[in-house]
Amino acid sequence: MEKWNELFVRLYVGIGVRARDEQGDVPGWVMITVMTAGIVGALTLVAGPRLQQMLVDALNSVGG
């Protein structure tokens, strides 16, 4: 029985440490989100008018 208690304590402590370590990665996710928004914004500035024209042409060809 003593061996099981030690196993459960080690498992519980291991899960607690892992959960605390994963919470510290918030600035990384914020950086990824900001960089993704920047890339989308830059692509919209560069390719936006062409993509819009492609969409209009596609919709017009379907509509007849």
State mean pLDDT over 18-24. Answer: 55
Question: Which among 39, 58, 38, 62 has a CA at the least distance from the CA of 50?
Answer: 58
Task: Specify the pLDDT at position 16.
Answer: 57
- Tokens for 63? 């509509």
The CB density around residue 30, as the number of other CB atoms within 10 Å, is: 10
Could you tell me where the DSSP H helices lie in the chain?
2-23, 26-63
Q: Per residue in 24-64, pLDDT tens?
A: 567 888 999 999 999 999 999 999 999 999 999 999 999 76
CA-to-CA dists, residue 44 to 4, 32, 51, 52, 54, angstroms: 59, 18, 9, 10, 14
Side chain identity at 29, as an amino acid letter?
W
Task: Specify the pLDDT at position 55.
Answer: 94
Domain chopping of the chain, boundaries: 2-63
